[in-house]
């Protein structure tokens, strides 16, 4: 990205600072477009699904059978996916 003008505009450090500034602006814009309620909900749902697969949830919820446990895990995964779809405003 060559620019004509003063030597300051042609320096490598100026280019790096300009790219860093543009990246920070993009990150700020991206953070304004994220709905964190859905992001937290997706994280919680995926954590519950992982805990169900690992057998951690069985200490707190007594399932009647393996099918019920699998259905609970699938429902948690679906909830996580639905919440991920709602993350962008």
CB 44 within 8 A of CB 38: no
Q: Can you count the helices (H) and strands (E) in the chain?
A: 4, 0
- In a shared domain, residues 39 and 25: no
Number of domains the chain contains: 2
Domain, as residue range, for 21: 1-33
Tokens found for residue 80: 């996580």
Do 25 and 39 reside in the same domain of the chain? no
Residues 50 and 22 in one domain: no
* Percentage, residues of the chain above pLDDT 90: 51
- Do both 11 and 41 map to the same domain? no
pLDDT band at 34 (very low <50, low <70, confident <90, very high): confident
Rounded to two decimals, the pTM is: 0.67
Model confidence at 6: pLDDT above 60: no
Alpha-carbon distance of 70 to 46, in angstroms, equals 14
Cβ atoms of 2 and 47 closer than 8 Å: no
Give the number of C-alpha atoms closer than 13 A to the C-alpha of residue 45, restricted to the C-beta side.
Answer: 18
Strand partners, 34: 88
């Amino acid at each position: 990205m060559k620019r004509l003008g003063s030597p300051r505009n042609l320096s490598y450090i100026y280019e790096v600072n300009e790219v860093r500034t543009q990246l920070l602006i993009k990150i700020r814009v991206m953070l304004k477009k994220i709905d964190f309620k859905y992001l937290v909900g997706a994280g919680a749902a995926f954590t519950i699904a992982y805990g169900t697969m690992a057998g951690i949830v069985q200490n707190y919820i007594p399932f009647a059978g393996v099918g019920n446990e699998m259905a609970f895990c699938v429902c948690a995964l679906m909830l996580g996916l639905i919440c991920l779809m709602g993350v962008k405003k």
